[in-house]
Structure 1
Amino acid sequence: MAEINVTPFVDVMLVLLIIFMVTAPLLTAGVPVNLPDSRAAALDQDQEPITLSIDETGRTFIDETEVPEAVLPDRLAALAGGGDQPRQVFLRADRTLDYGRVMRVMGELNRAGLNRIALVSVGQE
């Protein structure tokens, strides 16, 4: 018989597809933050955004790396990099945080030249 039976290959690929579909949403949020609700739609992205998270205790994270408040302006300036178009920043802040804490971080983002800021919330269906 000179033919290859592709049915087992298709079965394996479908199982792998299901596994990736189930695990992919679990990999996006690295820092547990209790986000507020919103009815806004998701944004279309050209390049990979910077994710800045503030947890319920006020600790600041860039992607999944904790950044002390004293070092935050330098790290943001390094991320801005002076490109032709400022990078998109997703700001994820816990709903129990003080408004002033979130505004201080937004001020540091603005001073670093990162002024394309999107506030992340939990969408309602």
Structure 2
Amino acid sequence: MFDWDEKPELNITPLVDVMLVLLAILMVISPNIVYEELIRLPKGSAQKELTKIPPVHITISKSGEITVNKEPFKMDTFADNFSLHAQTLNHDATVLISADQTLDYGKVMSVLGAVKKAGFREVSLASNG
């Protein structure tokens, strides 16, 4: 006869042992697996050469004389003259402003404002470190 009160017990210890060994093997081998799929990339429609745009150097001396790429300007008429001169320059170029440290902050900011108003987006103030 069959005893209905008897419950079968499963011994899962060998299954766990085998799975842990497989997991350890997988963890040791997986960093060494390299999967590489060879693909053919399409050709670009336009091959554009990258050209480096020379920066615009603006120097303000202690006496207030301004030079833009070695071309002299006067401080009081700089905004108007520079906006006319900026039409010949590339507006994607970086503008680097170098000023004497003893100059008034307002003078440097007026030059910076004139450069921004002329349409330049990348303007930097040079420093010694």
Instruction: Report the TM-score, using the length of structure 1 for normalisation.
Output: 0.53
Task: Count residues with an aligned counterpart.
Answer: 79
Which of the pair has the greater relative contact order for Cα pairs under 8 Å at 6+ separation? 1
Number of the residue aligned with 1:6: none
Deviation of 1:74 after TM superposition, in Å, equals: 3.9
Q: Distance in 2 between matches of 1:86 and 1:80?
A: 11
CA offsets, 1:4-33, max 9 Å, x none?
xxxxxxxxxxxxxxxxxxxxxxxxxxxxxx
Paired residue secondary structure (2:57)? strand
Correspondence for 1:57:
63
In 1, Cα distance between equivalents of 2:96 and 2:82: 13
Pair 1:107-2:125 in alignment: no
Structure-2 separation of matches of 1:97 and 1:108: 17
1:48 corresponds to: 54
Tell me the C-alpha RMSD between the 2 structures. 2.5
Superposition deviation, residue 107 in structure 1: 0.8
Same amino acid, percent of matched pairs: 28
Tell me if structure 2 keeps the 8 A contact 1:54–1:94: yes
Return the TM-score normalized by structure 2.
0.51
**Counterpart of 1:62 in structure 2: which amino acid?**
V
| Amino acid in the other structure paired with 1:51 | H
8 Å contact 1:86–1:113 — kept in the other structure?
Answer: no
Alpha-carbon distance, 1:114 to partner: 1.6
CA displacement at 1:57 relative to structure 2: 1.2
User: 1:83 Cα shift?
Assistant: 8.0
**C-alpha spacing 1:57/1:47, structure 2 compared with 1 (3 Å):** same
Q: Per residue, is there more strand in 1 or in 2?
A: 1
Instruction: Give 5+ residue unaligned stretches, structure 1.
Output: 1-44
